[in-house]
Each structure stands twice: as C-alpha cells, then as structure tokens.
Amino acid sequence: LPKMEGTFPYQARPTLSAQERYAMGIPGGSSGVWASPEQAQVLFDYMKKEFQGWDPGYAGLGDNRTTALFMATKFMRMGMWPGEINMGGKRVNVAQAISAAGGTATFTSFLGLRSSETLRPQDFGVPRWEGTPEENLLTLRQVVRFLGGCDVGAQEMDSDVFKLFHETSGGKQLVIEDVDEAAETATKLVIP
C-alpha cells in the first residue's frame, strides 16, 4: 500500500448506514465504514492494481459472489453474537439485548446455535435426504470449500478413535450413544 502518514486514526462510530454511504458514492458501503472515504479509496485502488479486474462491488468486498460468501460467514462467527443488525430499518444491538435478558456475550452450546423455528423437511412429512457416506462427505466437502476451507475428511468411529475423546467437556460427561441426533443435557453431551 502507498505509505500514508502514521496509521489510520481511530474513526468514530459511523452515523450513516452502509446503504446511505453507498448511495453517496462512498466506496465500501459495508467494509469501509471504519475508514474515511480517502482511506477506503487507497485500499480499493491497491486491490484494483494487484488483482486485474477487481471491483469493490456494492459493499467494498469484491463481486457479488465474494460479498455473499463474506456475509454468509460474518454473522455470528467465532461464537460471538452480532453487535448490530438491521431490522426493518432500525438498528438493533443483539449482543446488548441478549445480555440484558440474562444471556452471555457468546454462545457456547455443544450443539451450536439452534433455532426452535428451524424448518426441517421431516417436520412436514417430507423424507429427509439420506445419502451414502461417500455422498455425505462430498456434500460436506462442498460446504467447507464454499466457506473457504481446502478439504475435509472422515474416519470411522471405533474403539481406538474413542480413546482420543475427553471424558468430560465443560463439566459435562461426553458420551457416545446410538441415537439419531446429538443432544445436550444438564449433565452430559451426547454424540450420535
């Protein structure tokens, strides 16, 4: 990058939304909110020089595919609730709301984040997809690559592999049972 005097100074929290910044012609409606328009332009000029045909796109992240991938992985990454989301034109601080309701700043469930409103095919009498282990691995590999990983593998669970598991995690017994879905109770974590 071209040398700018010092480092980018701390920027006050933006008062305009990403959409408002984009409508004003400020590059990087989403990613550039913490940089001044001049600083964002330096970064974008450098990207265009280094990567032939690069376009900042509507969010300053690249083309629509790159932006979609970034946004898909941005929400609730690293076990942290999002600071703000836009709901019907109103900014809502999710982390603050969960904290005010007695929750914690992170979600650490063994099962990951789950919604009671998730609609699954079997809830509507539609048979769930049952592929071969090989087909399932190919599907998982596509997801991992979509999210930027390079590869994924699988191994049969046997008595030797079980020796690698801890007996407890977070004060709960870690057990492997013959069940269809993983589960978490007050005393144990169940691996199917």
User: Domain end: 71, 100, 129, which one?
Assistant: 100
**Residue 136 scores a pLDDT above 50:** yes
Assess whether 41 and 89 both reside in one domain.
Answer: yes
**pLDDT (0 to 100) of residue 173:** 92
Specify the pairing of strand 188-191 against strand 172-176. parallel
| Within a domain: 108 | no
Give the whole-angstrom CA distance, residue 126 versus residue 174: 32
Contact 31, 60 (CB under 8 A): yes
Which of 45 and 23 is assigned the larger pLDDT?
45
CA-nearest of 73, 80, 51, 75 to 63 is 51
Domain that holds residue 70: 18-100
| Within a domain: 150 | yes
- pLDDT bin (cut points 50, 70, 90) of residue 31 is very low
Q: How many domains does the chain have?
A: 2
Assess whether 83 and 125 both reside in one domain.
Answer: no
Give the whole-angstrom CA distance, residue 47 versus residue 40: 11
Looking up tokens 């999210």 gives: 147
